[in-house]
Amino acid sequence: MGKPTGFLEYDRRGNPGQAPLERVKHWNEFHPMLPAEERRKQGARCMECGVPFCQSGVQLAGMFTGCPLHNLVPEWNDLVYSGNMGHALSRLTKTNNFPEFTGRVCPALCEAACTCGLHGDPVTVKENELAVIEEGFASGAMRPRPPAVRTGKRVAVVGSGPAGLAAADQLNRRGHSVTVYEREDRVGGLLMYGIPNMKLQKEIVQRRVDLMTAEGVEFVTSKEVGRDISAGELLDKYDAVLLCCGAKKPRSMGLDGAVFAVDYLTAATRALLDGTPADGSMDAAGKDVIVIGGGDTGNDCVGTAIRQGCRSVTQLEMMPKLPDSRAENNPWPQWPRVCKTDYGQEEAIAVFGHDPRRYQTTVKAVRTDGEGRPVSVTAVRLEPKQENGRTVMTEVPGSEEELPCGLLLIAAGFLGPEDGVPDAFGLSRDGRSNVATAPGGYAASAPKVFAAGDMRRGQSLVVWAIAEGRGAAREVDEYLMGYTNLT
């Protein structure tokens, strides 16, 4: 531990953020890095405590806290403080294939469990991580390192989101020949089309894809398994097939004229990358926008709608507002169940003068024009009631309210993987419609087929997808070779 009193001497200081009224004028990331000397101070705040909860990745009270990748946080924080960024990079990339992604979009489960957060502010673990990897790219340390020896084994990875990319990266390092199939026109899955550019610029994703390509991974885009290439063809051509297709079946609410959030975000990003206008039905310009869903995806819709020039935006959340600080029954190091005002909501407050969120509210009905486009919605208040030991949100009689609406977005979660790929391979499902795998493993019900990521565990975080990809790669490697030395 380089600075035993660092957590006492230095206050937490995060990367500065561009003012909301300025950043809504563009689609780029808006958190410039701290200077190197200040970053060293933030590394010095790490206590290197006896039990580093930050890297635990354990479930407490039904929610995970600490890093699922078990990143060696105290080690590379100490190296950040000492200025040894090269060694910090080696320790960071030992457990995390893509710190440039998690350093931007992860909700920082590590920081929620940081011991400094027990009586003060946690260490800026996420931003320290981002500083390490970006210094690695800037210095040339992140250069192609293709494997010296190939095993002769061929693996197909279906889906190029974070799980598929992590698995492909690991298997390629092992020496297997890996081909990644992606049905979209660009590689990256939700990293490319599900996360807006202002949270994760797409050059960052492409930079990693280019590095993996130089290391020997083959990417095939605009190729949908089950339509453009059959399951049988993959099984005949490859020694193993790993499915990492995500969980993109949206939760439909049966509302006329509604657009699913992922479709909307995808269309906005594709228009930005192609330099073309957004499709009219997916464009918020001049419209009153209603977003159903209070989570991260709903917040991304708010930020996107503002950049497209919406007339107003309202975000509806079915559940009651969370407390502003930890409740007594939610102690550290549990994940803090507190109200968070994210970037999109900050921007709505700056642009429109009020918080866009309405709690305990949902849409009951939609009024459309003659062509099926929404004109207004009937919103209704909800109240919690206990039924059979469960909290159920029920409608408050007489609470209906009509709200103008030109674009209705559903960001209410997902119901599991789409049916095409699992059905093409004839795979079994679990009780939540995810692809069923062997207990504690990744082998699916068909020979030579494995599954990982959201497709196996349900909708989750990028950091969990990376962890799933790494775990599946170990199992695939052992299946192919009879043993594994992957971590």
pLDDT in tens, 285-321: 999 999 999 999 999 999 999 999 999 999 999 999 9
Considering the domain architecture, whether residues 70 and 195 belong to the same structural domain is answered as no
CATH number at residue 57: 1.10.1060.10
In a domain, 148, yes or no: no
The first and second tokens of residue 45, run together, are 């705040």
Q: Tell me the residue ranges of DSSP E strands in 351-410.
A: 357-359, 361-368, 374-387, 390-395, 401-404, 407-410
Q: Which residues contact 153 (CB under 8 A, 6 or more apart)?
A: 176, 177, 239, 240, 480, 481
**Residue 121, φ and ψ in degrees, nearest 5:** -95, 135
Tell me, what's the pLDDT at 1? Answer: 62
Whole-angstrom distance, CA of residue 214 vs CA of residue 425: 31
d(C-alpha 450, C-alpha 447), whole Å: 9
Q: Compute the distance between CA of residue 316 and CA of residue 396 in angstroms, rounded to an integer.
A: 15
Q: Which residues contact 417 (CB under 8 A, 6 or more apart)?
A: 245, 246, 247, 248, 249, 433, 434, 435, 454, 455
Residues paired with residue 365 on neighbouring β-strands, in sequence order? 378
Query: Which amino acid would we find at residue 169?
Result: D
CA distance 264 to 120: 39
> Beta strands of 245-360 (E only): which ranges?
258-260, 288-292, 312-317, 357-359
**Residue 317 belongs to some domain of the structure:** yes
Q: What total number of domains does the chain contain?
A: 3
Three-state DSSP at 306 gives: helix
Type of residue found at 253: M
Q: Are residues 242 and 164 in the same domain?
A: yes
Residues 43 and 250: their CA atoms lie apart, in Å, by 40
Q: Assess if residue 147 is contained within a domain.
A: no
Do 319 and 334 lie in one domain? The reply is yes
Residue ranges, the chain, pLDDT below 70: 1-2
Establish if 486 belongs to a structural domain: no
Gap between the Cα atoms of 221 and 233, Å rounded: 17
Q: Are residues 195 and 302 in the same domain?
A: no
Token digits of residue 317: 């959340």
Domain annotation covers residue 146: no
Strand order in the sheet with 407-410: 258-260, 407-410, 288-292, 312-317, 357-359
Q: CA 133, CA 370: separation in Å to the nearest integer?
A: 53
Nearest one of 221, 161, 157, 228 to 193, comparing CA atoms: 161
What secondary structure letter does DSSP report for 219? E
Residues 318 and 184 in one domain: no
Is residue 33 within 8 A of residue 126, CB to CB? The reply is no
- Cα 298–301–304 angle (5° rounding)? 155
The verdict on 104 and 233 lying in the same domain is no
How far apart are the C-alpha atoms of 166 and 466, rounded to whole Å? 5
Q: Where in the sequence is the domain holding 354, given as residue range(s)?
A: 258-410
* Residue 360, domain member (yes or no): yes
Domain boundary among 139, 172, 201: 139
Q: Could you please report the per-residue DSSP string of 17-31?
A: ---HHHHTT--S---
- What CATH number corresponds to the domain at position 334? 3.50.50.60
Q: Are 473 and 97 in contact (CB under 8 A)?
A: no
The answer to whether residues 379 and 433 belong to one domain is no
Domain end point (choices 410, 430, 455)? 410
**In this structure, is residue 329 part of a structural domain?**
yes
User: For residue range 345-400, what is the model confidence (pLDDT) as tens digits?
Assistant: 999 999 999 999 999 999 999 999 988 999 999 999 999 999 888 889 999 999 99
Strands (E) in 88-160, as ranges, are 154-158
- The radius of gyration computed from the CA coordinates of the chain, to the nearest angstrom, equals 23
Same domain as 293, residue 238: no
| pLDDT at residue 415, rounded to an integer | 87
For residue 216, what are the CA distances in angstroms to 49, 184, 269, 485? Answer: 40, 21, 28, 20
Q: In the prediction, which pLDDT does 389 show? A: 84
Q: Strand, helix or coil at 180?
A: strand
The pLDDT, as a whole number, for residue 422 is 96
Please indicate, yes or no, whether residues 362 and 313 belong to a single structural domain of this protein: yes
Rounded to the nearest 10 degrees, what angle do helices 296-308 and 343-352 cross at?
A: 40
Q: Are 238 and 179 in contact (CB under 8 A)?
A: yes
Whether 374 is covered by a domain: the verdict is yes
Contact partners, residue 25, CB within 8 Å, separation at least 6: none
Co-location of 209 and 293 in the same domain: no
Which helix (H) or strand (E) segment holds residue 267: the answer is helix 261-274
* Secondary structure, 3-state, 87-103: HHHHHHCCCCCCHHHHH
Per DSSP, 277 falls in state P
Of the residues 139, 171, 204, the one at which a domain ends: 139
- Do 437 and 402 share a domain, yes or no? no
The answer on 65 and 131 residing in a single domain is: yes
Q: Is 174 helix (H, G, I), strand (E, B) or coil?
A: helix
Residues in the chain: 487
Q: Are 50 and 1 in contact (CB under 8 A)?
A: no
Place of tokens 């992606």: 182
